Amino acid sequence: MSLAEFQRALGDLIASPVRCAKVRRLPGLALAGYALTARARERLLGMAGDPRMAMNCTLYRVNRLIPLHAVLPRSCRLLGSRLGGVLDAYFAGERDGTLQFGMEASRFAQWLAARHDTTPALRDLLAFELACHAVISAAGEPERGDDPRRRTLALRHDIGALLAAAEGEEPPPLPAPVLLELDARGDALVLTLVEPANA
Amino acid sequence: MNVHGPSAGVGVLFNPALAGFVEHHSDAVDFYSVIPERFWVDHGRGAAPRFAPLPHEVGLLERLAARKPVTAHGIGLSIASASLFDLDYVAQLKDWKRRYGFAWVSEHLAAMRLAGGAGSDHHAGLALPLPWDEELLALLCPRIARVQEALGGPIALENGVEYTPVPHAELSEPAFLNALTARTGCGILLDLHNLHVNERNLGRPARGFIDALDLDTVVEIHIAGGSSLHGIYLDAHSGPCPPEVFALLRQVAPRCRNLRGVTFEFLESYFPSMGEEGVLEQIELAREALRPPEHPPCPSPNSSAHSAT
Ligand SMILES: [Fe+2]
């Protein structure tokens, strides 16, 4: 059990430079929640004080960002300078990270869409990029009734304007919602504007 | 038993950017190494069904398996995680080994997952530094035995990179690996770039590691490139191998009597800067490094104990 507790504490240190600093400052308090042997405790203190620990913290952040950026690149761009703060909040609140790209991106998108300060434009872009990932991932699947290679989204923004938006800038909403169909059954992803959603 | 005859073959770690390479240049490699996790979605421990194959990716695997022998390089076992041992993952690996006839199976000697609450796992974001102690050996040996029993043969475990070593280890890393292979019969996947990374960042000489390791246990060698960030050299798989890695390959390969393959690893995001020509060049440089010199130098007293006969 002591190795498991050592690894749990080390995982928490790697996930948070703030926690590393707390272990350096108040080791008794910061490590109180782990059942550690004296040697494991001494090792963690040494590692938290090792300047090279910063690289582990950086890599943790980069590795958690990679799946999000791979699936949701335009959403990350639309967040602009807010991205760093949003990631801090997400990583702190959602510790059960996974490197399964689709799952991690979907969890992040749900978390972000539920925030009160997430704009309708960003919600549209998140939904669009997740849907793209889903239909493209299903591209090689055989045809069936509920075809995962096709999906229809109701959007309040012109998708072309959203994709072309400069970093941190959002286009105005459309006068009325539209339905956009994504179809990955052929060689390339096809986007078709169906009809105004309220027609 | 090497993939292409009496000497070690040269292969590449497959990524989707190599789909065209597979069509046009498969003659240049002796085998493909594949990351099995690229071919399925893992819904996590306890999910039913847990693994969902990705049809497009499986199609790619079938195309390359039709051309060349395939080896599996797993990244998801996390065999050194004390809080979990994922036998369902092992069963999945066994199933796919049978289906695609993997020539051998390798995994990282790593702890990357931690058991979380409510049955979910937390990915540590990177391989946690490991304490090279008897306690870890005692954890790993029965696990490796079970994995090998399931797979019907030895697994090769890969040495990793450390940015912050665990202090006061009971053993050096090569001594730990020697104990592990002696007790379980598993093999070693020797990643030379990882040794190079540790030499640059931690001042641990790669050659010292190699001299201390039982090289008869090495079945595969990884070569790769890296890059620097904030003064730290990273195992970034960011393109061509540095010359130091080829120098290590030239030195170590002839001493590994059971070496089956040398694999070049790179990330697909670096493919545009390398192109197919760049990949072919790395394969050719690896072949050159494996070729016996025309006038072999006299063996040094230190290396004679490990020399191939
Ligand atoms: Fe490697």
Which pLDDT tens digits describe chain A residue by residue (199 residues)?
Answer: 589 999 999 999 998 889 999 999 999 999 999 999 999 999 999 999 999 999 899 888 888 888 898 899 999 999 988 998 999 889 887 766 666 778 889 999 999 999 988 999 999 999 999 999 888 877 766 666 678 888 999 999 999 999 988 887 889 999 999 999 999 888 788 999 886 555 4
Note the pLDDT of residue A66: 84
User: Is there a contact between B122 and A10 if contact means CB atoms under 8 Å apart?
Assistant: no
Mean pLDDT of chain B: 90
Find the closest chain A residue to B121 by CA distance: A96
Any domain includes A56:
no
- Residues of chain A with C-beta less than 8 angstroms from the C-beta of B139: 3
Q: Report the C-alpha gap between B225 and B55 in whole angstroms.
A: 31
Q: Is the pLDDT of residue B297 over 80?
A: no
Any domain includes B309:
no
Q: Report the C-alpha gap between B56 and B33 in whole angstroms.
A: 18
**A residues 137-196 closer than 8 Å to B (CB):** 137-142
Average pLDDT rounded to a whole number, residues B119-142: 91
In a mutagenesis test of the B interface, which of A5, A7, A91 is the best target, namely the one with the most B β-carbons within 10 Å? A7
Are A19 and A104 found together in one domain?
no
Q: Is the pLDDT of residue B147 over 60?
A: yes
Residue B294 φ then ψ, to 5°: -65, -35
Domain that includes residue A162, residue range: 61-196
Are A66 and A45 found together in one domain?
no
Kindly give the distance from the C-alpha atom of residue B140 to the centroid of ligand 1, in angstroms, as a whole number.
Answer: 20
Q: Which of B55, B122, B164 sits opposite A52 (nearest CB)?
A: B164
Contacting residues for B144 by C-beta, under 8 A, at least 6 apart: B79, B155, B157, B180, B184, B186
Q: Determine the straight-line distance between the first and last CA of chain A, rounded to whole angstroms.
A: 62
Kindly give the distance from the C-alpha atom of residue B76 to the centroid of ligand 1, in angstroms, as a whole number.
Answer: 14
Kindly give the distance from the C-alpha atom of residue B246 to the centroid of ligand 1, in angstroms, as a whole number.
Answer: 15
Kindly give the distance from the C-alpha atom of residue B193 to the centroid of ligand 1, in angstroms, as a whole number.
Answer: 7
The angle formed by the CA atoms of residues A137, A138 and A140, to the nearest 5 degrees, is 105
Q: Report the C-alpha gap between B174 and B208 in whole angstroms.
A: 9
Are A41 and A107 found together in one domain?
no
Q: Is the pLDDT of residue B11 over 90?
A: yes
List for chain B the helix, strand, coil content (%; round to 5): 45, 20, 35
Q: Is the pLDDT of residue B124 over 90?
A: no
Note the pLDDT of residue A101: 78
Are A150 and A178 found together in one domain?
yes
User: Is there a contact between B114 and A11 if contact means CB atoms under 8 Å apart?
Assistant: yes
Note the pLDDT of residue B57: 85
- Residues of chain A with C-beta less than 8 angstroms from the C-beta of B122: 11, 95-97
Note the pLDDT of residue B149: 97
- Residues of chain A with C-beta less than 8 angstroms from the C-beta of B126: 14, 56, 59-60, 63
The number of C-alpha atoms within 13 Å of B65 and in the hemisphere containing its C-beta is: 19
Q: Which residue has the higher pLDDT, A60 or B137?
A: B137
Is B114 an 8 Å CB contact of chain A? Answer: yes
Whole-structure pTM value: 0.85
User: Is there a contact between B164 and A15 if contact means CB atoms under 8 Å apart?
Assistant: no
Q: Out of A97-106, B125-134, B157-166, which region has the weakest mean confidence (pLDDT)?
A: A97-106
Residues with CB under 5 A from ligand 1 (ion): B 191, 222
The 10 Å Cβ neighbour count of residue B5 is: 9
Are A44 and A86 found together in one domain?
no
Is B242 an 8 Å CB contact of chain A? Answer: no
Are A157 and A92 found together in one domain?
yes
Number of domains forming the structure of chain A: 2
Are A36 and A73 found together in one domain?
no
Are A101 and A161 found together in one domain?
yes
Kindly give the distance from the C-alpha atom of residue B115 to the centroid of ligand 1, in angstroms, as a whole number.
Answer: 25
Average pLDDT rounded to a whole number, residues B87-103: 94
Any domain includes B187:
yes
Give the closest residue to A30 by CA, choosing from A39, A43, A17, A21.
Answer: A21
Any domain includes B155:
yes
- Residues of chain A with C-beta less than 8 angstroms from the C-beta of B123: 96-99
Going by pLDDT thresholds of 50, 70 and 90, the confidence category of residue B299 is low
Is B267 an 8 Å CB contact of chain A? Answer: no
Any domain includes A55:
no
Q: In terms of DSSP bridges, do strands B70-73 and B51-53 run parallel, antiparallel, or are they unpaired?
A: unpaired
Are A41 and A112 found together in one domain?
no
Q: Report the C-alpha gap between B138 and A51 in whole angstroms.
A: 31
Any domain includes B301:
no
Q: Is the pLDDT of residue B1 over 60?
A: no
Are A15 and A40 found together in one domain?
yes
Residues B193-243 have pLDDT tens digits of 999 999 999 999 999 999 999 999 999 999 999 998 878 888 889 999 999
Are A80 and A167 found together in one domain?
yes
Contact assessment for residue B29 and residue B12, using Cβ atoms and an 8 Å cutoff: yes
Q: Is the pLDDT of residue B22 over 70?
A: yes
Q: Report the C-alpha gap between B241 and B154 in whole angstroms.
A: 28
Note the pLDDT of residue B6: 47
Is A4 an 8 Å CB contact of chain B? Answer: yes
Residue B38 φ then ψ, to 5°: -75, -15
Q: Report the C-alpha gap between A154 and A174 in whole angstroms.
A: 12
Say which CATH number the domain at B37 has: 3.20.20.150
Domain that includes residue B181, residue range: 5-290
Q: Report the C-alpha gap between B87 and B105 in whole angstroms.
A: 16
Note the pLDDT of residue B206: 98
Are A100 and A184 found together in one domain?
yes
Any domain includes B105:
yes
Average pLDDT rounded to a whole number, residues B28-54: 89
Q: H-type helices in B26-114, by residue range? A: 55-67, 87-100
Q: H-type helices in chain A, by residue range? A: 2-14, 17-25, 27-30, 38-48, 53-71, 73-79, 83-93, 101-113, 120-137, 159-164
Number of domains forming the structure of chain B: 1
Q: Report the C-alpha gap between B101 and B69 in whole angstroms.
A: 8
Minimal CA separation from B123 to chain A, in Å: 5
Note the pLDDT of residue B306: 37
Any domain includes B50:
yes
Is B299 an 8 Å CB contact of chain A? Answer: no
Is B182 an 8 Å CB contact of chain A? Answer: no
Average pLDDT rounded to a whole number, residues B33-41: 91
Identify the bridge partners of residue B233 per DSSP, sorted by sequence position.
B228
